Structure 1
Amino acid sequence: MVGNQSLVRVENEESRNQISSKRRNFIKAASGAGIISTAGCLDKLSKSRGQNWPSGQVEIIAPWAAGGGSDRTSRAVADAAEKHTEATWNVKNQTGGSGSVGMSAVANAKPNGLTLGCTAPEICLYEHLGIADLSPDNITPIMQYTQMPATIVVHENSKYNSLDKFLSFAKSNPGKVKMANSGTGSSWHMAGAAFVHEAGIDVKHVPYDGAKPAITATLNGEVDCATVGAVEVAPQVRDGPLEALGVMYDEKLESLPQTPTMKQQGVDIVIGSWLAHFGPKDLPNDVRDSIVDTYNAVYEDKKFKKFMDNNNFLRVKRGPDELKKFLDEKYKYYGQLVKEIDVNK
């Protein structure tokens, strides 16, 4: 176990209580201060808050490769946002540094609301791992919109197509298993390292610039397995050619109904990732509030909800104030987790 407080269980009771097995389609946490309800709002939003926002094209920077959860959901947000503003929205992939390159570009952008970004647990990890001088204090939180439990996948023709076989081989061959992740210090790297620590095995972590390249490496035999988001591999697990060894969650997922949890198989771990959008640190309050209004409309947008549902993304909402508190808590959590486990093994 990792510490006396079970630090590998990254989702605390507050987070887990927000989500039950019968609430995949619509999950709405209590709104933080400053959130304005926009349910049913289908018209263009008023500019009464940030008078000049948006005054041009809005760009969302996805800090990982195209095809992953950050990229796909950001494009869905941009698509919906165009219906609720008078601006064009674009998504740009800016990879590198386990997401720090793209996130830093947003944090350092002109604070006019025209450059936004996608973030994940990595924002709470960079300083602890010495990857970048970037933390929740360097951004303006806008909204969290999803949560993604982790899983470990292998090729369906792998010699260890069950968790028992995988653990047995790894214990008998320390350091021989190559485990792909979405970048050194990424949330999937941390999930893999936490799993390895909890299971008492030794593997070689292999970083890639995003979940999709890590999954591809597993498919073509470059690595033995990958630790990624369950939602990112659900179609390939259901229809082949991947096999999920277990989900790092409290309960089975509707997207992977045949896959047991790790806990059910003897490895007591709950860990994963989440996605949120943010702006530069010094974003004016009136501009931030206008962006939040738009994101509230996006979250309730029928097409956006259909995309999330059809692609098995759990819908979890945190507004700017609640998200800021959440980020600060996770920053402390990951700082302790980094001290407890050897993420470089």
Structure 2
Amino acid sequence: MVDNTSSGTSDRTVVNRRNLLRSLGAGGIAMTAGCMSSLSGQQEWPARPIEIVSPWAAGGGADRTSRAVASAGENYTDVAWNVSNQTGGSGSVGMNAAANADPDGHTIGVAAPEIALFEHLGIADLSPDDITPIMQYTEFPAALLVHEDAEFSTVQEWREYGQSNTYQMANSGFGSSWHMAAAAIASEAGVQVEHVSYDGAAPAMQAVVNQEADCTAVGAAEAAAQVRDGPLQALGVAFDKQVEALPDTPTLTAEGLEVRIGSWLGHFVQSDISDERKQQITEVYNSIYEDEGFVEFMNNNDFIRVQRGPEEFNSFLEQQYEYYGNLVDELGIEEQ
């Protein structure tokens, strides 16, 4: 059974730059911090347009929700908010770019389960300790998708077919959350799969639409339009209850697969950003989360709203690091 529920805390003890500064105490660095603030314009935020770096291709959940955040953010600041797509490395290219940007609050990154996976799979030297979490704002369970013309139309038929045939199963990149979801579902079902990587959920779905791949597992909200109006069929969702995005799709549990897994999204800034700047950004994000336009977008597009602020989000990330480390071991996924 695979269950992506988070409880407890990680035993890892990693001292990064942020923790080191805190351990030094305020007395010895107060004057230095004040001087740096004055020299770098720390009192001014935002002083120029804000860039959100989405680490996957346009059209997926990270891209679409980040654009909704950007649109709402302009209501609470006097600058433009833009989204850039920096893909590759299962999200590590974009996340690294944001994590290593100047710590002035003008470059914001998108965090997803991948940041808890990179080190476990040898993809990148990047983990939750290398960022400052700002807010998690959504989660979405995985949906198992096939083409509407597939030879199977139920989970049971998919399982039976996959026990004597090997599926080409698309995912959003090696070590991505949707790779892990696909592997977990396939393992629980006992089917044979060959995982094929793409640069995001949208290209993975398109591969099934084009019948380049037999199936995929991506977010229910991401898949809703293609299931409702397009050529895809959702066989089940890896959640503990049916979801509004796919109201006619049963849970995988109801179909005999004890697996609950998916993804989530949040935004972060650099590990060495000042506490003052972190608080300024957090206050804007609190407004964004309640913004009428943002709420309407999330509801209209079936994204489940979940809010975790900096401290709670940080604890959640540590739990995710431990969870995915155990899952990698359980599934026997080897480093690249």
Contact 2:54 2:83 in 1 (8 A): yes
Instruction: Tell me the SS of whatever aligns to 1:83.
Output: coil
How do residues 38-187 of structure 1 correspond to structure 2 at under 5 angstroms? 51-173=43-165, 176-187=166-177
Match of 1:11 among 5, 27, 33: 5
Residue of structure 1 equivalent to 2:304: 314
Contact 2:142 2:262 in 1 (8 A): yes
Q: Which runs of 5+ in 1 are unaligned?
A: 2-7, 15-49
Instruction: Tell me the SS of whatever aligns to 2:150.
Output: coil
| Superposed displacement of residue 338, structure 1 | 0.7
| Matches of 1:105 and 1:239, distance apart in 2 | 36
Contact 2:169 2:194 in 1 (8 A): yes
Residue of structure 1 equivalent to 2:216: 226
- Number of aligned positions between the proteins: 302
Residue of structure 2 equivalent to 1:254: 244
TM-score (norm 2): 0.88
Residue of structure 1 equivalent to 2:207: 217
Q: CA RMSD in A?
A: 1.3
CA deviation vs aligned residue, 1:146-176 (integer Å, no higher than 9, x gap): 0010011011111112111111010112xx2
Contact 2:6 2:320 in 1 (8 A): no
Contact 1:193 1:342 in 2 (8 A): no
Deviating above 2 A after TM superposition, structure 1's stretches of 4 or more consecutive aligned residues are 11-14, 342-345
Contact 1:190 1:343 in 2 (8 A): no
CA deviation vs aligned residue, 1:2-38 (integer Å, no higher than 9, x gap): xxxxxx2002479xxxxxxxxxxxxxxxxxxxxxxxx
| Matches of 2:246 and 2:239, distance apart in 1 | 12
TM-score (norm 1): 0.86
Residue of structure 1 equivalent to 2:191: 201
| Matches of 1:166 and 1:343, distance apart in 2 | 23
Amino acid at match of 2:309: G
Residue of structure 2 equivalent to 1:269: 259
| Superposed displacement of residue 62, structure 1 | 0.2
Contact 2:121 2:334 in 1 (8 A): no
Residue of structure 1 equivalent to 2:329: 339
| Superposed displacement of residue 222, structure 1 | 0.5
Deviates more, 1:238-247 or 1:208-217: 238-247
Instruction: Tell me the SS of whatever aligns to 2:241.
Output: coil
| Matches of 2:332 and 2:198, distance apart in 1 | 19
Percentage of identical aligned residues:
56
CA deviation vs aligned residue, 1:288-310 (integer Å, no higher than 9, x gap): 10000000000000000000000
Residue of structure 2 equivalent to 1:24: none
Q: Which runs of 5+ in 2 are unaligned?
A: 9-41
| Matches of 2:160 and 2:70, distance apart in 1 | 45
| Matches of 2:250 and 2:191, distance apart in 1 | 20
| Superposed displacement of residue 311, structure 1 | 0.3
Instruction: Tell me the SS of whatever aligns to 2:124.
Output: coil
Rg comparison, structure with higher value: 2
| Matches of 1:205 and 1:344, distance apart in 2 | 13
